[in-house]
Structure 1
Amino acid sequence: MKLLFATLLLCSLLLSSSFLEPASAGSCKTNIDDASFCDGKCSTRCQKAGVVDRCLKYCGICCEECKCVPSGTYGNKHECPCYRDKRSSKGKPKCP
């Protein structure tokens, strides 16, 4: 019985470790990469905004926190749930 339990435990550990993604030094982004990523995505997102500087400001804040920006100039917020769900203190959507 103990041998069966030990075998099952070992198999489950091996299986679970195969689903984990190995971490490497090259897989982490630096703050410089994040800033350029956010700048590019937010400039695309805000190109048709009425108040571009305000759009860029809030898009940049949301991008830094969520690490993603929905595609296009409007909508598509389902692509980034964190970006979609951020709210201002008044309960309105924070991210453009």
Structure 2
Amino acid sequence: MENVANYAELGKYIGAGLACFGMAGAAMAVGNVAGNYLSGALRNPSAAASQTATLFIGMAFAEALGIFSFLVALLLLFAA
């Protein structure tokens, strides 16, 4: 019976570690959004001001996915 509890504990840690891949993906997505914005702004500086809102919306959506995966990792570690 003791081994079953150890396997459940092991599963919690593995699941939380896998959920952290979502945070890494969010970090790469935010970098991709910012890099593409800067690339476009350097090509056409006059249109950069009109695309700033789109930049922040894209970053917010990407970061929200990272926050959700962080929440899942915390739930896996500390929920009963």
Higher helix share: 2
**Pair member with larger Rg:** 1
Q: TM-score range by the shorter chain?
A: 0.3 to 0.5
TM superposition score normalised by structure 1: 0.33
TM superposition score normalised by structure 2: 0.37
Which structure is higher in RCO with an 8 Å CA cutoff and minimum separation 6? Answer: 2
